[in-house]
A and B are shown apart, each in its own frame.
Chain A
Amino acid sequence: DAGVIQSPRHEVTEMGQEVTLRCKPISGHDYLFWYRQTMMRGLELLIYFNNNVPIDDSGMPEDRFSAKMPNASFSTLKIQPSEPRDSAVYFCASSPQGLAGGIEQFFGPGTRLTVL
């Protein structure tokens, strides 16, 4: 398997523009997660899905952020309009269904977003 695939790997945009980040999870994984990583705040969970349904979006910073998962093999995270403080590395991760605690999350390589 190719692992979790994210695109683009780097994105530079200007304040006010719409940004769309894309993720393809590992085939067969039921859970998909979006994280944001900055030096100041570390790695923060934004939202996660189970079987394409959003379960917890309490980490989404504000209404400018939205995430969708139209099918089991694709998810998007959209920021509209973007602001300089959104600059960060955004990670997508997926994990299989599990019965026990401590289910491994498999991370993609991330998208480095810079908003000028």
Chain B
Amino acid sequence: TQLLEQSPQFLSIQEGENLTVYCNSSSVFSSLQWYRQEPGEGPVLLVTVVTGGEVKKLKRLTFQFGDARKDSSLHITAAQPGDTGLYLCAGAKSGGSNYKLTFGKGTLLTVNP
């Protein structure tokens, strides 16, 4: 059983569309991070959320941490081909080490021009 479930697994959309991807768990996390990974490279951090209900914006990307700190969402407005990649959520379990991250399997996003 995957500790962090991401949905959808695959998403293919046209440039200019909006989308939301989800990261869900039955466990509580002290912090949750979103990374983006491009082919042939390692993941790169986009954002960290630590407070239940927290919303962070990064240009066209909006990240939200659930009130109970068990889930998170990533919303992209007016997607562009440069947004294509694998989006991974990763959490540090509450009560555990802040350095030990559990990753979801990711959402593979393709934005077509």
Contacts and interface: CB of A to CB of B under 8 A. Distances in A.
Interface of B: 2, 30-33, 40-45, 48-50, 88, 92, 97-106
Contact of A109 (B30, B32, B42, B105): B42
A109 B106 CA distance: 18
Interface residues of A, number: 27
Contacts of A31: 99
B104 A95 contact: no
Contacts, number: 68
A101 B98 contact: yes
A46 to B, nearest CB: 12
Contacts of B103: 35, 42-45
Nearest to B49: A102
Nearest to B103: A43
Contact of A42 (B2, B31, B50, B100): B2
A84 B31 CA distance: 35
